[in-house]
Amino acid sequence: MLFLAVLVIVITAVSTEMLIRRNEYLSEVFRKILHFTAISLSAVIPLLLREHVLLLLVSFLSTILVIVVVSTDYLKSIRKDEEKSWGIIYFSIIYTFAIFVLPYEYYYLLSMSFLILAIADSLAAITGVYFAKKTYRLSGIEKSYLGSVVFFFSTFLIAIGLPLLFSDYFLQGGLPLFYLLHFALIIAIVLTTFEALSSQGFDNFLIPLFSIILSVVFLRDEKSSLLFQFSLGLVLAGIVAVLSYRAKFLTANGSVSTFLLAGFIFGLGGWKWSIPILTFFILSSLLSKVRKEKNAVVESYFEKSGTRDFMQVFANGGLGGVLVIMNTISPSEWFFYGYVASLAAVCADTWSTELGTLKVNKTYNILNFKPVSQGMSGGISLPGTLGGLAGAIVIAISGLFFFESNMLLLTIIIVISGFAGGLFDSILGATVQVQYKCKVCGDVTENAHHCGEKAQKFRGFEIINNDFVNFLSGVFGLIMFILIWSIAVL
């Protein structure tokens, strides 16, 4: 069976390459035939092949194979544009990861998740290319409104149809129809939003990943109260996202990513998890607005403006989203404590920047204490340092009343961890974060373009930009919390 499936995929890939070279107009149809065939067979194989080790080995080797094929550009006609498409690699990675993590009794959830990707994504792409007229752009590539509508309804029908057709895989007697309809609506909304936001093939990773997460949370057994809470969380997240976009706190893609991130945190974590991140988001956004009005000069040093985009949203809150999902699957108070600590680090970093550049003041390099331009990465000042401490304190207090025990000790450790995370951000900014030097004015900045010209790389690594550093700051705050708590309880 496994050999036959691999053979079918290989034959389909070669045939697709030949057909695209002969008929460019139908190239999208041929690409999606390969997409549908490969992913559908991959979705069914886990249910038929019970040898877990063999399945894991084959999925790992397949990942290596597709990396080689894409890197060598062997099937270049299958690409949709001139750039290499890494979508099939993203799919292979999440497929191997899911096979490794999920026990066999959950493979039916894995299969359903990948069938959604195979069917809904293929239909949406073909519809969008050949029939859609109106388009939109949230990230790297254009998407069509018609394609998104097709994706939504396809996902909705699959999420209802498969559990009804194969009810033996789900609860004995199947899930209640109303609950199933409710779940299908929620997963269709979430996955359609992720598909709209993703680009360069990353939907091949995000769609099955969050389909599996939602399925594991809601389809293992009936959780009507949690599903209702999640629905309410999405509604509240939508309101926050719309209001923030209107207030110009967020860009369009920033508001969409806030809807997703806040939806998971509000919906799975309730008020307990919502209050800390709302405290951070609202106060930090207001500070950014005030700082921009008071000292707009330093804006040219920053990679991005005070209006947050989707990468900034996920960099600041993505770790919290991971922790709330982990807490839902395997509940533990320590996930919440770590969440507050990581958020305290992110807030400390943000407030140190906003309050440190609110007015013109002396700024020094964090490593050698030599004077640097205000707003330059790696620079610290007295107002900024105090602002970072204040940010960590505010977040710690926002979670204080949800601590089940050791309230004072936990609060102190979270403040220390958050403050340390903010300082760690500055250290990264002074060492490995990418910096550019303007060819016109000579200023060193985070921007790759300055004074209307492309700037020259000055130091650091291009992959380590401001968003990456912000994410690492949150991770460092979490690690510091774990280390300090471990020492404190010895």
Please give the residue range of the domain that contains residue 126: 2-218
Q: Name the nearest CA neighbour of 411 among 422, 423, 397, 421.
A: 397
Tell me the mean pLDDT in the region 223-234: 93
159 and 277: one domain?
no
Mean pLDDT of all residues belonging to the chain: 82
More confident residue, 8 or 150: 150
| Positive or negative: CA dihedral 78, 81, 86, 90 | negative
pLDDT for the residue numbered 83: 47
What residues contact residue 95 under an 8 Å CB cut-off, 6+ apart?
Answer: 42, 59, 62, 63, 114, 208
Same domain, 28 and 143: yes
Question: In this structure, is residue 69 part of a structural domain?
Answer: yes
Contact 274, 221 (CB under 8 A): no
Same domain flag for 388 and 318: yes
Q: Are 404 and 282 found together in one domain? A: yes
Same domain for 272 and 208, yes or no, is no
Same domain for 210 and 316, yes or no, is: no
User: Taking 60 as the threshold, does the pLDDT of residue 33 lie above it?
Assistant: yes
Residue 249 lies in a domain: no
Residue 89 forms part of a structural domain: yes
Please report the pLDDT score of residue 262 as a whole number: 93
- Within this chain, do residues 377 and 284 fall inside the same structural domain, yes or no? yes
pLDDT-above-90 percentage for the chain: 35
Q: Does residue 62 belong to any structural domain of this protein?
A: yes
| pLDDT score for 3 | 45
421 and 483 share a domain?
yes
C-alpha neighbours within 13 Å on the C-beta side of residue 127: 19
Instruction: Decide which of 218, 233, 254 is a domain's last residue.
Output: 218
What is the pLDDT, as a whole number, of residue 5? 46
Q: Are residues 148 and 26 in the same domain?
A: yes
Distance (Å, rounded) from C-alpha 15 to C-alpha 78? 10
Q: CA-CA distances (angstroms) from residue 189 to 20, 141, 154, 244, 377?
A: 33, 20, 11, 20, 39
> Does residue 307 share a domain with residue 163?
no
289-298 long-range Cβ contacts below 8 angstroms, 24+ apart: 289/249, 290/354, 290/358, 291/354, 291/355, 291/357, 291/358, 294/358, 294/359, 295/357, 295/358, 295/359, 295/360, 297/360, 298/357, 298/374, 298/375
Q: Based on the domain organization, do 213 and 279 belong to the same domain?
A: no
Q: Taken in order 247, 253, 256, 257, is the CA torsion positive or negative? A: negative
Q: Are residues 33 and 159 in the same domain?
A: yes
In a domain, 248, yes or no: no
Lowest mean pLDDT among 20-29, 189-198, 335-344, 423-432: 20-29
Residue 340 lies in a domain: yes
Domain boundary among 218, 245, 279: 218
What is the number of structural domains in the chain? 2
In a domain, 286, yes or no: yes
The answer to whether residue 229 is domain-embedded is: no
- 20-34, 86-100, 211-225, range with greatest mean pLDDT: 211-225
Buried b (16+ CB within 10 A) or exposed e, 69-95: bbeeeebebbbeeeeebbbbbbbbbbb
